[in-house]
């Protein structure tokens, strides 16, 4: 038992060290060489635009469920569906918007990137890049990390608006809350700090997903079966780390007043 646990811990620390080395290499190449602008734009489009429909649809129905549950609960306790906009707005902007968007992008774009880089690894295309004098970190990893860090915060913003619109539909159509009251509930209590809270989370999630997926792709082995295994591990690790990071980021941001 202790031998297995020790092996797991050592394996985790080894992978953490290799991922940190990859990040350090990214920083080095960002300072030493020009950015692959075309690749960055292409990856931003693939990650952001292609994930837009899924992210906004997920947030739309999340907002609808939040409004319905909050309205029903408030009606049972206070006989009136009060502060529905506040509950939906705070829940989405500070918590559910960044987390659900990160989940969607990790499951969709993260899996695709891991599979793409993993396929290049097992078919020796990455070795060919070395032979041609092109550094894989500069050409493959850096554009994807930057693309994630651009796309996920923008998608989070869109998801927040979509979720609030879903809450608005349920509040006005099912709970008989006027549109002005719903709007006032959001604008009165929701501040800049709340928006920044969610944005900081989305940036951190984006960086983590990009690093995990690129690392798993670059360390793929075992042919087609290995690509599938690496993709599964990347998505699972990203989703678990999103929840772990979410707790610690919430604690840190609340401690500094954000």
Residues 6+ apart with CB under 8 A from 131: none
Q: Note down pLDDT in tens along the chain; length 258 residues.
A: 777 778 778 887 887 887 888 888 888 877 887 777 888 899 999 898 889 999 999 999 999 999 999 888 888 887 777 788 888 999 999 999 999 999 999 998 999 999 999 998 888 888 887 787 778 888 888 999 999 999 999 999 999 999 999 999 999 888 888 889 888 888 888 888 888 999 999 999 999 999 999 999 988 888 888 888 999 999 999 999 999 999 999 999 988 877
Residues 6+ apart with CB under 8 A from 194: 89, 90, 93, 94
Q: Is the dihedral of CA 143, 216, 156, 52 positive or negative?
A: positive
Residue 166: closest CA among 99, 95, 100, 84: 84
- At 133 the three-state DSSP class reads coil
CB 67 within 8 A of CB 185: no
CB 153 within 8 A of CB 202: yes
Measured distance CA(192)–CA(170) in Å, rounded: 25
DSSP result, 52-72:
HHHHHHHHHHHHHHHHHHHHH
């Amino acid at each position: 038992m202790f031998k297995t646990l020790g092996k797991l811990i050592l394996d985790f620390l080894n992978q953490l060290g290799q991922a940190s080395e990859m990040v350090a290499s990214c920083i080095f190449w960002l300072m030493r060489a020009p950015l692959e602008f075309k690749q960055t734009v292409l990856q931003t489009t693939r990650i952001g635009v292609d994930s837009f429909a899924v992210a906004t649809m997920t947030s739309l129905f999340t907002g609808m469920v939040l409004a319905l549950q909050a309205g029903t609960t408030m009606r049972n306790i206070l006989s009136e569906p009060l502060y529905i906009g506040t509950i939906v707005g705070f829940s989405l902007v500070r918590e559910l918007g960044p987390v659900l968007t990160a989940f969607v992008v990790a499951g969709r774009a993260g899996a695709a990137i891991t599979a793409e880089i993993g396929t290049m690894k097992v078919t020796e295309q990455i070795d060919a890049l070395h032979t041609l004098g092109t550094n894989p970190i500069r050409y493959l990893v850096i554009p994807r990390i930057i693309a994630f860090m651009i796309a996920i915060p923008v998608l989070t913003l869109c998801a927040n608006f979509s979720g609030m619109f879903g809450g608005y539909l349920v509040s006005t159509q099912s709970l008989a809350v006027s549109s002005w009251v719903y709007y006032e509930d959001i604008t009165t209590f929701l501040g800049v700090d709340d928006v920044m809270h969610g944005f900081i989370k989305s940036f951190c999630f984006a960086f983590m997903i990009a690093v995990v997926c690129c690392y798993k792709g670059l360390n793929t082995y075992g042919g087609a079966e290995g690509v599938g295994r690496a993709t599964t591990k990347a998505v699972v690790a990203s989703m678990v780390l999103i929840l772990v990071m979410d707790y610690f980021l919430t604690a840190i941001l609340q401690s500094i007043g954000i």
